Structure 1
Amino acid sequence: MNKTSLILAIALALSSAQTFAQEVTINGTGVSLEANKTPVNTAVNPAAVAQLPKDYRFAVPGKFTVAVAALNSPPLTVFAEDNKTLLGSEVDIARLVADSLGLELNVVPTSWEDWPLGVTSGKYDAAISNITVTKDRKQKFDFATYRKDSLGFYVKANSPIKKIEKAEDIAGLRIIVGSGTNQESILLAWNAENLKKGLKPFTPVYTKDDAAQTLALQSGRADAFFGPNVTGAWKAALTQKTQLVGVVDGGWPKAAHIAVTLKKGSGLVDPVQTALNGVIKNGDYNKVLNRWGEGVEQIPASEINPAGLGD
């Protein structure tokens, strides 16, 4: 193991231990991973079950197989101490849908790059991985929304950068961002605007996991992180080493929502929407979001293929 890999491994181990040992306050809500290990289940929704297409072949018979990007980014996803069991709000949402459909949940930890092909090929029945509805994605996938999309810019606590809210603010900066994400699309659009004005380009910094992101930001190899605001808020509250300097709607310049992502025309989007609206109505949806500090991103009802980034 080289020096960089060793540092990353130690950082990840320390981060995991600290994360489970502490309760953090996110958006005014105390969140405990230790307590959140206990699953939140819900009742079977007969209306949703009745909408399941009779000829649909689940990836694993009797199970709802869901791809979840294993980025170890609480509160969305985080590995338990066994480094195998995936926890987080995304897994909880997947369980509510599976329970509602009368199916056993089969979570498959994946990379972000894997879910599109996995869903279109039938390897996964769905992807629940902080996926934003976009105009381009709607060409290949169906969406049933379950949460507002809010993105945040985070910098080191002692950074001289105090505000990143618009295109001009990213000029010349090195920003950690996920490849193929809607936040990357926003930065690229802002960068194009800046180049037309003669401003300096920004430099995207791509990392593989949370530990690498932390190392890049704290070592000074990156100036800022741009990603889901809830994950940035979690890390800032836990470590006190980062601070929020700007929030942007995920569908910039419009609002956008996060959604359960399904193969286009598979017939699953209607029963999944019914399942989501059922748990919104019975309160289990709010129970999940609130226990992860995501209540501020709740929606009143699930929508199918709404307007998104690029529409």
Structure 2
Amino acid sequence: MRTLALLISTTLFAPLISHAAAPTVNGTTINLQANLTPITTAANPAAIAKLPNGLKLAHPGEFTVGIAADGAAPLMVFADDNKTLVGSEPDIARLVASALGLKLRIVPTSWEDWPLGVTSGKYDAAISNVTVTKARKEKFDFATYRKDLLGFYVPTHSSITTISRAADVAGKRIIVGSGTNQEAILLAWNQENIKAGLPALTPIYMTSSAAQTLALQSRRADAWFGPNVNGAWQATQTGRTHLVGNVDGGWPQAAHIAVTLKKGNDLAPAVAAAIDGAIKDGSYQRVLNRWGEGIEAIPASEVNPAGLGD
């Protein structure tokens, strides 16, 4: 999950698809080479009917999607050509495009640049792990496609078995990104613990994957707290960490990841209908499952739901 102004550092993962043994994420074996095969859904008449009259696409007949190439697996990964983006975000983009009867055009961008790309019409949408917030809804429209879950990951040698509430982090040293929603949750829990007479936690701020791994394995940190999809992927790649608890990214509220669209162009209902159709025909769950994100599935897409700050 990313905050409104700051990029969460999740550069913990190798950028290229590996030919190594298939990893397992949340109980699902991920065959990276097999995951290069596109998953599509049939053109959805109900979704197409919701496309606004006079809609001007960035490229006629195409659904142009900006995806931040500075993200992390399994959300996006560069294929062996070091140019093609694959991962769960490109897969979601493909489902929406095929449901709307449009050809998909993916444009690699950066987290800093996608907002201008959407508002200027350079992209029809951004699909880049964007969390719905009150502030963002003033500038963009949204159609949700995934829950925003955070995860606590500990070293395999750790005696910690569960972290799911404030008391569980008392006195612990937790790696977390500065300026992120997960940091805000930790600090709120810390204040709760202090008021209850429990030991304070120690947040550890790191962006280097090597430093994070070393801190966990050398027992200088007790846990890492961040986007669950990234933590799950890291666990499969190293075999050195495992999940001990999930927290909603909008704690104590629900938070959702959404397709981000230009404000007021009325495209969001069509995108939501496209996602709903993919949910019903099973292609949506296939996409999430093959990237280990099945636990973040939603039952239906919502347009501009309550977000962080509402």
Does the CA contact (< 8 Å) of 2:62 and 2:105 recur in 1? Answer: yes
SS of aligned partner of 1:186: helix
Offset, 1:26: 2.0
Query: Secondary structure, in 3 states, of the residue corresponding to 2:30?
Result: strand
1:1-311 aligned within 5 A: 16=16, 19-71=18-70, 73-158=72-157, 164-167=163-166, 169=169, 173=173, 175-177=175-177, 181-187=180-186, 189-190=188-189, 202-203=202-203, 205=205, 207=207, 212-213=208-209, 215-220=210-215, 223=221, 224-311=223-310
Structure 2 CA distance, aligned partners of 1:176 and 1:269?
33
Q: Would the aligned equivalents of 1:24 and 1:32 in 2 still touch at CA under 8 Å?
A: yes
Q: Say whether the 8 Å CA contact 1:156–1:217 is kept in structure 2.
A: no
Q: Which amino acid aligns with 1:291?
A: R
Please give the per-residue CA displacement for 1:53-106, whole angstroms capped at 9, x wherever unaligned: 233322233221112222453222111122211111111010010111122211
> In 1, are the aligned partners of 2:13 and 2:73 still within 8 Å (CA)?
no
> Any conservation in 2 of the 1:273–1:304 contact (CA below 8 Å)?
yes
Distance 2:113 2:99 in 1: 26
Say if 2:174 and 2:225, in contact at 8 Å, map to a contact too. no
After TM superposition, the score normalised by the length of structure 1 is 0.81
Q: List runs of 5+ in structure 2 lacking aligned partners.
A: 1-11
Tell me, yes or no, if the aligned pair for 1:72 and 1:79 is still in contact at 8 Å.
Answer: no
Distance in 2, Cα, partners of 1:150 & 1:193: 21
Q: Paired residue for 1:3?
A: none
How far off its partner does 1:24 sit?
Answer: 1.8
Q: Secondary structure at the match of 2:245?
A: strand
Distance in 2 (CA, whole Å) between partners of 1:51 and 1:206 is 45
CA distance, structure 2, for counterparts of residue 308 and residue 264 of structure 1: 16
Structure 1 residues 219, 206: closer, same or farther in 2, change over 3 A?
Answer: closer
The structural deviation recorded for 1:170 is 7.1
Corresponding letter in the other structure for 2:175: I
C-alpha distance after superposition, 1:175-196 (max 9, x if no partner):
24275x5435434555666788
> CA 1:230–1:170 in 2, change beyond 3 Å: closer, same or farther?
farther
CA shift, 1:124, in A, is: 1.8
SS at match of 1:255: coil
SS at match of 1:177: coil
Q: How far is the alpha carbon of 1:266 from its aligned partner? A: 1.7
Q: Secondary structure at the match of 2:19?
A: helix
Cα root mean square deviation, aligned:
2.9
Deviation at residue 201 of structure 1 after TM alignment: 7.5
SS at match of 1:226: strand
- Normalised by the length of structure 2, the TM-score is 0.81
Contact kept, 8 Å, 1:273 with 1:302, in 2: the verdict is yes
Higher helix share: 1
Distance 2:41 2:29 in 1: 23
What whole-Å deviation, never above 9, does each CA across 1:212-250 have from its counterpart, x for those lacking one? 32x121232983433221221122123112222331111
Write the letter of the residue equivalent to 1:231: N
Which deviates more from structure 2 when the two are superposed, residues 165-174 or residues 64-73? Answer: 165-174
